[in-house]
């Protein structure tokens, strides 16, 4: 493609409303333009990248036996009423009426439609399993769209749905898709982790998310330096097996510590009140008592509409994970305010402790169970208690995992070091089970002749989001750096001076030669100054840039900036084709 003819509007200035690199660069490099909030036009070079990603997705989905279909964007309300999601989905579902006044919606996802197809056409276990996918536009009326294509209201998604006679069969397809997704992301040249997740409004049981690692990710995750363990921060389990010293871990020190804690269980010292005037934070308290935060216990009081007040005990060096608390209590809780407890004189926020909390149920993190003689608040302004011990001094209703995993903790699986990172969710796969087949009465006859609901899986993959995630992960300062696999072109050729006839002739010949040999080349033949060409090339991010300039007149060599391998080369023009093929084939 000749750049002089290509619709590729690059901008020099950073758009004022864009904050993250992928958003800024997608605008500056002419990939997208905004139409309205969370809605974008995708311009030629952006669409080229999307098509590359789609091609990779199709290859991998077809490989596991999935078949591509296309369902409509617009969907009738009746189907959504059948599953109850017409009501549940809220404002995120874009609703509209047709000319006859019938309720319709723009599909944010397609479980209802696919189930409708299958219940009409599939009636026997002999026809199963079946796995259908589409690559299509979705619309979700997000509360707050942001970051360009990373969180748009309209976006391109690959969604797949599978139908099975048995859970075992679903497991098989689920694993196939998991592998396919891994392959897709690897083929796109990106670094990622798979984490367990919650299912949200889609519903179902087992589910995993695929996280592209990037500093600007919206999800906080941990992953292991040694094994494949990775988890979202608000869900990550803390390794209790290590606490019980049942697993072989390298961290001798930690094992020793745990053993000591376990063995010392019997030496309980006498409880003692100590004045701690004006001291409220864990940090202040540990300094005042000359102890570490690990020796203290935090008591956190929460309140939920359904459950009322509950107290949670956690080790002083940890944070209460409200998400885990909510899941545990099956309620939405909040930390209590002074206002809420003003009629309870035995509660002093800042000096909370488990001893004498009257009728408030106490839950404790697993770690508390093996701690002894710890420090806690005295429920009395300006006082704390020393040598507090569970069982003897207070009753714990239940022990569980209530804290955030911390980077100092070891991997829950193998005990190695952890890394804390951020991720961009590009894929989410679910074992739905029979949620939709039951509510929509989608049944088949099994071997025994019994009518059963289909067992379903669904698998989403954000195409436009992957594009942004790729920019986020691979960009370098003000430059996009496309992984060569999804780069809009394989080679970016700059003709420095189109006015020099000889130079121009060489460039034109090279361009034609590369085209003939099926190299996707972006040829900057514009009659503008060289500086603009260099800067545009860096911005656009094709990872191989070749310069046709004085050097080629003297030595027949083309200068190559190779961002795939981060090097510069001088290549004889006869060897150029070979060079591009070799370097881009990774």
- Residues in contact with RNA by CB under 7 A are 10-13, 15-19, 34, 36-38, 92, 140, 142-147, 151-153, 155, 157, 198, 200-202, 209, 218, 425, 428, 460, 462, 465, 496-497, 499, 527-532, 534-539, 547, 549-552, 559, 561
Distance in Å, CB of 348 to RNA, minimum: 27
Distance in Å, CB of 528 to RNA, minimum: 7
Between 48 and 533, CB nearer to RNA: 533
* Residue 237 φ then ψ, to 5°: -75, 145
Coil vs helix vs strand at 81: helix
User: Within 10 Å of residue 517's Cβ, how many Cβ atoms?
Assistant: 12
* Residue 537 · residue 492 · CB < 8 Å: yes
Between 271 and 530, CB nearer to RNA: 530
Between 119 and 151, CB nearer to RNA: 151
Distance in Å, CB of 66 to RNA, minimum: 19
Between 132 and 157, CB nearer to RNA: 157
Between 155 and 328, CB nearer to RNA: 155
Residue whose pair of structure tokens reads 């979700």 in the numeric block: 140
Q: Quick one: which of 535, 543, 534 has its CA closest to 566?
A: 543
* Residue 543 · residue 487 · CB < 8 Å: yes
Distance in Å, CB of 330 to RNA, minimum: 14
Between 246 and 499, CB nearer to RNA: 499
State the virtual CA torsion across 537, 543, 544, 548 in degrees, nearest 10: 10
Which helix (H) or strand (E) element contains residue 519? none
Query: 465: which 2 tokens?
Result: 């989001």
Between 57 and 378, CB nearer to RNA: 57
Q: Quick one: which of 74, 184, 72, 69 has its CA closest to 134?
A: 69
Tell me the C-alpha distance between 539 and 560, whole Å.
16
Between 34 and 166, CB nearer to RNA: 34
Distance in Å, CB of 32 to RNA, minimum: 12
Between 208 and 243, CB nearer to RNA: 208
Distance in Å, CB of 217 to RNA, minimum: 11
Distance in Å, CB of 41 to RNA, minimum: 13
User: Within 10 Å of residue 330's Cβ, how many Cβ atoms?
Assistant: 9
Distance in Å, CB of 423 to RNA, minimum: 10
Between 444 and 461, CB nearer to RNA: 461
Distance in Å, CB of 365 to RNA, minimum: 21
Tell me the C-alpha distance between 451 and 454, whole Å.
10
Between 2 and 37, CB nearer to RNA: 37
Q: Quick one: which of 214, 38, 115 has its CA closest to 458?
A: 115
Which helix (H) or strand (E) element contains residue 115? helix 111-121
User: Within 10 Å of residue 191's Cβ, how many Cβ atoms?
Assistant: 13
Query: 26: which 2 tokens?
Result: 């997608």
Tell me the C-alpha distance between 284 and 197, whole Å.
36
Distance in Å, CB of 173 to RNA, minimum: 19
Tell me the C-alpha distance between 404 and 409, whole Å.
10
Distance in Å, CB of 381 to RNA, minimum: 31
Tell me the C-alpha distance between 113 and 303, whole Å.
40
Which helix (H) or strand (E) element contains residue 524? strand 521-524
* Residue 428 φ then ψ, to 5°: -145, 120
* Residue 223 · residue 232 · CB < 8 Å: no
């Amino acid at each position: 493609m000749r750049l002089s003819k290509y619709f590729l509007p690059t901008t020099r200035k950073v758009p004022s409303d864009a904050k993250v690199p992928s958003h800024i660069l997608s605008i500056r490099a002419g990939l997208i333009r905004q139409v309205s909030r969370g809605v974008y036009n995708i311009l030629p070079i952006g669409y080229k990248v999307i098509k590359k990603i789609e091609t990779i997705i199709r290859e991998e989905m077809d490989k596991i036996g999935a078949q591509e279909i296309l369902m409509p964007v617009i969907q009738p309300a009746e189907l959504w009423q059948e599953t109850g999601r017409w009501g549940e989905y809220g404002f995120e579902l874009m609703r509209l009426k047709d000319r006859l006044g019938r309720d319709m919606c723009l599909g944010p996802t397609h479980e209802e439609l696919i189930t409708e197809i299958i219940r009409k056409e599939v009636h026997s276990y002999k026809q199963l399993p079946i796995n259908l996918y589409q690559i299509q536009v979705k619309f979700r009326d997000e509360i707050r769209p942001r970051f360009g294509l990373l969180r748009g209201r309209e976006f391109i998604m690959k969604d797949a749905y599978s139908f099975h006679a048995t859970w075992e069969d679903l497991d098989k397809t689920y694993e196939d898709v998991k592998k396919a997704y891994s392959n897709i992301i690897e083929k796109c040249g990106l670094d990622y982790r798979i984490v367990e997740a919650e299912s949200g409004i889609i519903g179902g049981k087992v589910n995993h998310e695929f996280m592209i690692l990037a500093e600007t990710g919206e999800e906080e995750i941990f992953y292991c330096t040694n094994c494949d363990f990775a988890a979202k921060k608000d869900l990550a389990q803390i390794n209790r097996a290590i606490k019980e010293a049942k697993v072989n871990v390298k961290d001798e020190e930690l094992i020793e510590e745990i053993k000591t804690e376990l063995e010392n269980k019997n030496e309980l010292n006498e409880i003692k009140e100590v004045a701690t005037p004006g001291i409220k934070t864990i940090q202040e308290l540990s300094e005042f008592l000359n102890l570490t935060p690990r020796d203290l216990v935090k008591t956190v009081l929460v309140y939920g509409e359904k459950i009322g007040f509950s107290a949670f005990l956690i080790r002083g060096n940890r944070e209460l994970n409200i998400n885990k608390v909510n899941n545990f209590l099956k309620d939405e809780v909040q930390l209590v305010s002074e206002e809420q407890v003003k009629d309870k004189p035995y509660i002093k926020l800042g000096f909370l402790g488990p001893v004498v909390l009257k009728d408030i149920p106490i839950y404790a993190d697993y770690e508390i169970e093996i701690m002894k003689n710890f420090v806690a608040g005295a429920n009395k302004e300006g006082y704390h208690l020393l040598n507090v011990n569970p069982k003897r001094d207070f009753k714990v209703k239940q022990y569980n995992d209530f804290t955030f995993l911390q980077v100092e903790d070891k991997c829950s699986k193998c005990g190695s070091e952890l890394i804390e990172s951020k991720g961009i969710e590009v894929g989410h796969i679910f074992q739905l089970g029979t949620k939709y087949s039951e509510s929509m009465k989608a049944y088949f006859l099994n071997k025994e002749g019994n009518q059963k609901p289909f067992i379903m899986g669904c698998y989403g993959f954000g195409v436009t989001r992957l594009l942004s995630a790729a920019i986020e992960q691979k960009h370098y300062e003000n430059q996009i750096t496309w992984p060569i696999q999804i780069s809009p072109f394989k080679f970016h050729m700059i003709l420095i001076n189109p006015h020099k006839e000889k130079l121009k002739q060489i460039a034109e010949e090279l361009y034609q030669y590369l085209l003939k040999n099926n190299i996707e080349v972006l040829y900057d033949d514009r009659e503008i100054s060289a500086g603009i060409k260099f800067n545009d090339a860096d911005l656009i991010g094709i990872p191989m840039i070749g310069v046709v300039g004085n050097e080629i007149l003297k030595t027949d060599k083309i200068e190559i900036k190779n961002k795939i391998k981060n090097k510069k080369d001088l290549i004889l023009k006869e060897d150029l084709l070979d060079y591009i093929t070799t370097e881009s084939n990774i």
